[in-house]
Structure 1
């Protein structure tokens, strides 16, 4: 038996050796756990919580205690992702670091050019681009990430935007800055098919100073018309704001620009043509301003009924029977000729114009035209000089069906409750 110096107890010498060996084994086990990446504290004995020399000077240490990785790893999010292709130019590039900071961000075209400007969040964790990107461009990113221990890591990435072959745009009628009649619908023709029509309608805003609500009617994937329930109120200012940049048309086609069109509506001008009375009555803002005799289409070429809108005006227009399917020898054929004061109502060739001299005797008495509205010279000149594109001509009692919508602007012949259609 051996007496220990600290307590006076007698203990077997071999027992003290076994206890010392036990301590060594426990400590070795803990160290092995830490070395393997584990924390180990939950299974450590009480004495393991005693103070130890601080290791806070190490990049992996900031509190005293067991040697363990206490700095959280940085979680990095970069948009667009590295190597991405066909990126929408409207996408907002960004670099975000969780448990770290972002600095020295440079985003620029790989082929050279100015940097894309951006801002860094107040906490330094996020960089966001301020300007949109260009189409068909390869961009390169470079940036530095700083973790919570102050260690810096430089990174670089690249991506490419949508190719020019996948750009899409749109044309709007009426043109910006024009003045039109009260019957002029808005027409948008898209360069590529629009597959998500609901999303496109949300991307386009139509505002009328008159406060009139509008409805959309899609005639195809590329053509849409927009109109109010009744004719535009006189002197209305209409704005069409197409936020198309970055809009996905479908089939990987992307809108390449925004379009803003503003036009003015003049007085409400309406010409009512009645086959029963063979007259035209013209109203400005509801007031009768002129009455004139007319001749209409004969029994073989009835003038279409309903509403039509003046599409264009020509002081002199060349007419050719071949444009309506007639050839020499056919009934109703006439040689090429020039008519005066021509106001087009349909794409197939229905006009309001000065009647040919040979038909003057029929004006106000009988119908001798191929569907056009013929006027005497003085009335034809007055109509041409006082009416304009977008003004409305309503024809009654000919027995023919109404003007088809795409034959011109026959949209007004569709009841309002049925007009909206995708």
Structure 2
């Protein structure tokens, strides 16, 4: 409350959550100061304040404090649950204060505003604004890191921690831009995961940006969108390897030019006891990761020590191309049949020189196209099998195409 130079108290006007206020009559105001220091101007109504938003404000929307019959002198908005003050700014005419901070779900914000009428009388007014409390918050994580350098086979993606029932609304909140511009689209892998790729491989040198604006949106079943994510990627030179299971050769192309040919041995397609066929997956793979040395253990896919066909072997120059354990790597035991026969457990075997060359030149997002392997098609959830899906089928996987 503010005392007016010995003439009493200016009315304190309390605002309800609906934003309505009560004027409490006519406020006395300080006029021009004379020799005695005080003058009054009767009949001037007190300025009033409305706190907009009420009980169902989306945390995506701002808290707005609006003065009528005067201007705002000061506004403080606080989340008492956290003790954090909410940042905001006054309009040029000082009649409106608008928050510019990110709000929280299920929070009650306490607002205190001081408004001044044309005669200079100030009144402090209080109110509350509550944000919606959803039944669940679906937060997305990026399929790739939030930045980085990738090959032309780069696949973007988001994984949510809740099922998405209104996929169309969510998909509309995504934005992908590329420079230069390229035609692309989204494909829903399941209830929680969605991928993006262009119709053709990305153009070398492209910059690709992903942004979401799902926060604060109702996305079905009482669930709202969680914090937004963004990412920026740079596409490096085009590196594409073409591995043919019939010729047992792998050719590497740099920006469209053939720069390397290497004999290989793919996964075996015939029953060779003690293990059955283990053909390499057909289709377009991309490099997921690489390591110069690792121990490959068949127990990782269920063939453990004591089982027929168990192995545990050190391997060098390992370039991973699927989640199922397919690698390009050195294998000295198969050098004698590299270029003539497929005998591996699914990997693409090479000699030391060729394996080291591919390890040095191929990086995340670079492409390995496998044909004539005798194996099934690489699936979308087995690494980045996205490129194995035809463009028409990919477009049909969008929630906006149904």
What TM-score do you get using the length of structure 2 for normalisation?
Answer: 0.76
Question: CA contact under 8 A between 2:252 and 2:258: conserved in structure 1?
Answer: yes
Q: Which residue of structure 2 lines up, in the alignment, with residue 117 of structure 1?
A: 88
Higher relative contact order (CA 8 A, sep 6+): 2
> Which residue, 148, 154, 179 being the options, matches 1:178?
148
Say if 1:350 and 1:146 are closer, same or farther in 2 by CA, change over 3 A.
same
> Which residue, 335, 340, 344 being the options, matches 1:365?
340
> Which residue, 224, 249, 254 being the options, matches 1:279?
249
Question: CA contact under 8 A between 2:140 and 2:228: conserved in structure 1?
Answer: no
Q: Is 1:374 the counterpart of 2:327 in the alignment?
A: no
- Cα deviation code 1:210-266 (max 9, x no counterpart): 211210001123211100000011111111122344344445544453433111111
Within 5 Å, give how 1:120-139 maps onto structure 2. Answer: 120=91, 122=93, 124=95, 126-135=96-105, 137-139=107-109
> Which residue, 212, 218, 225 being the options, matches 2:188?
218
Quote the Cα distance in structure 2 between the aligned partners of 1:365 and 1:130: 66
Say if 1:131 and 1:326 are closer, same or farther in 2 by CA, change over 3 A.
closer
Quote the Cα distance in structure 1 between the aligned partners of 2:100 and 2:326: 53
Quote the Cα distance in structure 1 between the aligned partners of 2:177 and 2:381: 24
Q: Which residue of structure 2 lines up, in the alignment, with residue 262 of structure 1?
A: 232
Question: CA contact under 8 A between 1:186 and 1:227: conserved in structure 2?
Answer: yes
Gaps of 5+ in 2: 1-24, 27-43, 270-276
Question: CA contact under 8 A between 1:76 and 1:96: conserved in structure 2?
Answer: yes
Range that drifts further, 257-266 or 359-368: 257-266
3-state DSSP of counterpart to 1:342:
strand
Within 5 Å, give how 1:12-411 maps onto structure 2. Answer: 78-81=51-54, 84=55, 87-96=57-66, 100-101=69-70, 103-104=72-73, 105-110=75-80, 112-114=83-85, 116-120=87-91, 122=93, 124=95, 126-135=96-105, 137-143=107-113, 155-161=125-131, 166-299=136-269, 300-328=277-305, 330-331=307-308, 333-355=309-331, 357-411=332-386
Quote the Cα distance in structure 2 between the aligned partners of 1:181 and 1:115: 42
Quote the Cα distance in structure 1 between the aligned partners of 2:80 and 2:343: 70
Higher helix fraction (1 or 2):
1
Question: CA contact under 8 A between 1:79 and 1:92: conserved in structure 2?
Answer: no
Range that drifts further, 368-377 or 241-250: 241-250
Question: CA contact under 8 A between 2:52 and 2:129: conserved in structure 1?
Answer: no
What TM-score do you get using the length of structure 1 for normalisation?
Answer: 0.72
Quote the Cα distance in structure 1 between the aligned partners of 2:168 and 2:104: 26
Range that drifts further, 226-235 or 339-348: 339-348
Say if 1:330 and 1:160 are closer, same or farther in 2 by CA, change over 3 A.
same
3-state DSSP of counterpart to 2:333:
helix
Q: Which residue of structure 2 lines up, in the alignment, with residue 63 of structure 1?
A: none
Q: In the TM superposition, what is the alpha-carbon distance from 1:196 to its structure 2 partner? A: 2.9
- Cα deviation code 1:402-421 (max 9, x no counterpart): 10111110111111111032
Q: In the TM superposition, what is the alpha-carbon distance from 1:297 to its structure 2 partner? A: 1.1
Gaps of 5+ in 1: 1-57, 60-70
Q: In the TM superposition, what is the alpha-carbon distance from 1:359 to its structure 2 partner? A: 1.7
Quote the Cα distance in structure 1 between the aligned partners of 2:184 and 2:166: 19
Range that drifts further, 174-183 or 372-381: 174-183
Range that drifts further, 252-261 or 230-239: 252-261
Q: In the TM superposition, what is the alpha-carbon distance from 1:118 to its structure 2 partner? A: 3.2
Q: In the TM superposition, what is the alpha-carbon distance from 1:281 to its structure 2 partner? A: 0.8
RMSD: 3.3
Quote the Cα distance in structure 2 between the aligned partners of 1:115 and 1:171: 26
- Cα deviation code 1:254-295 (max 9, x no counterpart): 445343311111111111111111111111111100111111
Say if 1:123 and 1:351 are closer, same or farther in 2 by CA, change over 3 A.
closer
